Each structure stands twice: as C-alpha cells, then as structure tokens.
C-alpha cells in the first residue's frame, strides 16, 4: 500500500509525539477491512499526537488514490446497523432546522437521506464511494445517491441548508479540506452535522488501543478539543458538541468486544439464532456529535 508522510491534518504542525506504533498485517485483511460496522481487525497505522491541536493522526498514511480504491472495493453487510444509526442521528436534529437543499457525505445506502425526507427535506443528495453500499439503498432513495468520493470543487458555494458527515472524518486523508468545503457550500444559517469517535470517551480510555476505534480505516481520531479546532479552522464560529447514545442490536455491540474474530463470529451467530441478538440497546460508547453553524 502506497503511504505518504504528513503533518497534523488540522494545523500541519510537526511538533508531534508518537502515540502508538503500527501493527498492520496486510495478509490478514479481507474484503470487509474498509467496510463500515465490521468486526474490528485490531490493526492500526502508526499514530502521532499533535501537541498543538490534540489530534491523534496517522503518519505515514495511505495515499488518497489508495483509499478511494479500497472503499470502492469494500463489501457491505451492515444495512440493519446503518438504519439504526440513521434513526439515532435523526433524533439529534434540532427543532426548527431550516429546510432546503441537503447533502449527506459517506451516505452508505442512503439511510439518513430517508430520515431527512421524513423530517421534511425534499431536495437531497448523497455521495458514497462503495457500490456495494449503494446497491442496498431503497428504490426511492437510490436516485439521490452519486457513487464516488467527495470532491469540493464539484459542490457550489452557498447553496446547502444542511450537510451531514457521519463517522467519516476519521477516514479522510484531509478532513480540513472537506470541512472547509462544507462551510463554503452552506448557505448563511446552514448547519454542518458530524458524528465522530471521541478518543477521550470513557470506553475508549478504558480499552486504550484495544478499542475498536483504533482501526486501519482511521487516519485520525478526535477529542472534543481537536474536533472544535477543526471546525473553527474550517471557518465555523459557533460549534456545539454533545454525546451520542447509539442504539444498536446486541449482536452489533458484541462485534466490538476485544475478542478473537472466530469467537466473535460464533457469538454473533448464536445471538442471532436465539433472537436475543436483535434486542436494541442504547449505549454511549464515546461518540460525539457536532453541530457547526454558518
């Protein structure tokens, strides 16, 4: 895999210290390595900690063209969990949100686009690199989805009332470029809603590098301080952070436990077979929502 050395993707500072070393074994990666809501491989890039921004980021990191290829080829088998996540995120939409044109970056099968339609949005679009994910989209939503990666120059300035980007900023080679482009694409009064892992969340601090957030897909991991710095560097002046309580079926939560993959697969199959695995359980595992207002 082609890799590139980089500084902090927020401030480009080189005053960083090693957070943890890489432990990637490429021979053990499968078609789901770059899929969403998979069983974690417990592999990670070498991660650095930026003293200025409090960001933990991969250096070196895979080149952009390599990332695009991996996400386009990734398999997808998490429609159920994607629907759960979309309902969760929709529950945090503020009352009185101004309706208009909406964009969902990393839309998967367009599950959140469906929630936006129920909220009242009529003019929506999603961008998603994985054809496998798009193939699962509802027939009424699929025409709203374009296959590819988010390229800022393809989106005009000042036209969107709402932009969402869930569990995606960690995966981007240049999260500042994307967030700045979202600021520019929003109309005055528009809202940029993101959800990211909080590396300082209780569960993540307890598990350390055994937490599933330490993953080959993740090129950076945010804290409240670093995500706020990202948003303000992108141009937003009003930034609100809040904890996210995700509601997923029990079998998904089991996937995230720090267990060997074969054991995890057996447990998931058992829980599904006896139906207990489909019980919906809300847990705050250390995700944080961000509402940034233009």
The answer to whether position 167 is within a domain reads yes
In angstroms, rounded to a whole number, what is the distance separating the alpha carbons of residues 27 and 39?
16
pLDDT at position 1: 63
The answer to whether position 234 is within a domain reads yes
73-87, 112-126, 277-291: the lowest-pLDDT one? 73-87
What pLDDT, in 10s, does the model give residues 44-92? 999 999 999 999 999 999 877 777 676 766 666 567 888 999 999 999 9
pLDDT at position 36: 66
Most confident range (mean pLDDT) of 5-19, 55-69, 179-193 is: 179-193
- When divided into structural domains, the chain yields a total of 1
In angstroms, rounded to a whole number, what is the distance separating the alpha carbons of residues 194 and 163?
8
The answer to whether position 238 is within a domain reads yes
Q: List the end-to-end C-alpha distance of the chain, in Å, as a whole number.
A: 38
The answer to whether position 53 is within a domain reads yes
The answer, yes or no, to whether residue 160 has pLDDT greater than 70, is: yes
CATH number, domain of 94, equals: 3.40.50.150
Average pLDDT score over residue span 241-252: 90
What pLDDT, in 10s, does the model give residues 187-241? 999 999 999 999 999 999 999 999 999 999 999 999 999 999 999 999 999 999 9
Cα 278 from chain centroid (whole Å): 23
The answer to whether position 35 is within a domain reads yes
pLDDT at position 37: 64
Average pLDDT score over residue span 126-155: 93
pLDDT at position 72: 66
The answer, yes or no, to whether residue 268 has pLDDT greater than 70, is: yes
The owner of tokens 């952009």 is 64
pLDDT at position 78: 63
The answer, yes or no, to whether residue 175 has pLDDT greater than 90, is: yes
What pairs with residue 198 in β-bridges? 222
CA proximity to 279, closest of 87, 80, 133: 80
pLDDT at position 253: 79
pLDDT category of residue 290 using cuts at 50, 70 and 90: very high
Domain that holds residue 196: 3-249+283-293
The answer to whether position 260 is within a domain reads no
The answer to whether position 271 is within a domain reads no
Average pLDDT score over residue span 175-184: 97
Most confident range (mean pLDDT) of 3-12, 105-114, 243-252, 257-266 is: 105-114
């Amino acid at each position: 895999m082609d890799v590139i050395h980089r500084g902090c993707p927020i401030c480009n500072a080189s005053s960083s210290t090693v957070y943890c070393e890489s432990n990637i074994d490429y021979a053990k990666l499968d078609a789901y390595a770059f899929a969403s809501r998979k069983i974690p491989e417990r592999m990670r890039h070498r991660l650095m900690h930026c003293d200025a921004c409090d960001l933990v980021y991969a250096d070196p990191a895979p080149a952009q063209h390599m990332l695009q290829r991996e996400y386009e080829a990734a398999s997808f088998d998490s429609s159920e969990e994607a629907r759960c996540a979309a309902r969760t995120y929709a529950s945090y939409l503020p009352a009185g949100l101004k309706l208009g044109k909406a964009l969902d970056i990393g839309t998967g099968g367009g599950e959140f686009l469906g929630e936006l339609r129920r909220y009242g949005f009529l003019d929506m679009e999603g961008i998603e690199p994985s054809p496998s994910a798009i193939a699962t989209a509802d027939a009424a939503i699929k025409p709203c989805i374009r296959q590819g990666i988010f390229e800022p120059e393809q989106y005009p300035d000042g036209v969107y009332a709402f932009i969402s980007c869930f569990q995606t900023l960690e995966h981007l080679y240049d999260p500042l470029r994307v967030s700045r482009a979202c600021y520019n694409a929003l109309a005055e009064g528009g809202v940029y809603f993101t959800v990211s892992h909080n590396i300082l969340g209780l569960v993540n601090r307890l598990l350390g590098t055994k937490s599933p957030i330490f993953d080959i897909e993740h090129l950076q991991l945010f804290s409240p301080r670093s995500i706020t710095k990202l948003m303000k560097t992108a141009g937003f002046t009003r930034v609100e952070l809040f904890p996210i309580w995700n509601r997923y079926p029990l079998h998904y939560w089991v996937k995230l436990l720090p267990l060997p993959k074969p054991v995890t697969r057996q447990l998931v199959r058992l829980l599904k077979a006896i139906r207990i695995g489909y019980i919906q359980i809300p847990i705050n595992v250390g995700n944080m929502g961000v509402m940034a207002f233009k």
